[in-house]
Amino acid sequence: MAKLREVSCAFCGKRFFRKSGQFNEAKKFGWKQFCSLKCLSKDKIKKQALVCENCGKSFLRQPSGFSPHNYCSRSCAMVVNNRNDPKRKPQFKTCIACGKQFRKSSGNIKYCSTKCWGGRKPKYTSQELINIIKQEVQSLCRIPSRREISKISDSCKKSFGSWNNAIIAAGFEPNRSHSQRMYKRSIAKAADGHICDSISELLVDNWFYKNNIPHERDVFYPNTRHKADWAIPAKRRKIFVEYFGLANDSPRYDRAVREKIKLCRKSKISLISIYPQDLYPKEFLEEKLRNKFKIFLTS
């Protein structure tokens, strides 16, 4: 029968018996001896108990994580830092919709919640939306695009299901829809008599006419059946102008755009591209087009 030796647990101090062979081996290599696996695992924990300087709660932390001021959480650290540094105190604003105080964040936010922000939008009845559309048609002498009356576009979608349904409800024929794109056009006549394929092209053509920029419509690309929306006469190099109204909206259209760009590079034609964001909202149209065509305005 193996001899037993009485040993003290290195963690809790409890006396217990071990086999002589195990006792001698641990003594030879300088190993600690424990009465149980629980005492073994607890002895490996080097964390020490500290007291939070804000809330007084006791918590454990590794010695390597000690600092002059110790807190149990980031929240407690933030409370003390904000209290000691007035610049870090939260700023508050008053909601312009409900008058409630809310914590200020980055940006010029005026509302305490999305509910208050949404509540400030004007609400229209179906008849009011129809009346607004009729007024715009009378003012423009044509069917307006959704971007031209963006303030009611969301309301029209809620009341009628879509912008085109709202146009139909007002008694007019809508411009081409998503399902009709690439093969049906909304013909419009510009101020100089040019026939345009959309309202957006009409705006650009009228801007050329207004600023005395000479231009031709539907000019063929060299050795292809592709046509450019406009060509501006130039002495040294041809200049084509394209309105890419459906860019990133139709795969077929995007392929045509890429092909036209390649043709211009191959034929050494200068291409000026116009996108919807250059025309809408219309209050920025003049500034953006002037930047694109300033060389023709100053000459």
Q: Residue 88: what pLDDT?
A: 64
pLDDT tens digits along 196-210: 888 889 999 999 999
**Alpha helix stretches (DSSP H) within the chain:** 20-29, 37-44, 74-84, 114-119, 126-140, 150-160, 163-169, 199-210, 251-267, 276-279, 285-292, 294-298
Helix (H/G/I), strand (E/B), else coil: 101: strand
Q: Residue 216: what pLDDT?
A: 92
**91 CB-side CA count, 13 A:** 9
The C-alpha atoms of residue 135 and residue 184 are separated, in whole angstroms, by 26
pLDDT tens digits along 112-146: 877 777 655 667 888 999 999 999 888 888 888 77
Q: pTM score, two decimals?
A: 0.44
The C-alpha atoms of residue 106 and residue 104 are separated, in whole angstroms, by 7
Average pLDDT along the chain: 83
The C-alpha atoms of residue 210 and residue 205 are separated, in whole angstroms, by 9
Output the six-digit token pair for 52.
């939070």
| Residue ranges of domains in the chain | 51-119, 126-175, 188-298
Average pLDDT estimate for 229-247: 88
> If you classify domain 188-298 with CATH, what class do you get?
alpha beta
pLDDT tens digits along 251-269: 788 888 999 999 999 989 9
Strand partners, 259: none
Predicted confidence band at 3 (pLDDT cuts at 50, 70, 90)? confident
Q: Name which of 264, 276, 126, 138 is nearest 198 in CA terms.
A: 276
pLDDT tens digits along 70-94: 888 888 888 888 788 766 666 778 8
Q: Residue 182: what pLDDT?
A: 43
Question: Percent of the chain beyond pLDDT 90?
Answer: 18
pLDDT at 270 > cutoff 60? yes
Predicted confidence band at 181 (pLDDT cuts at 50, 70, 90)? very low
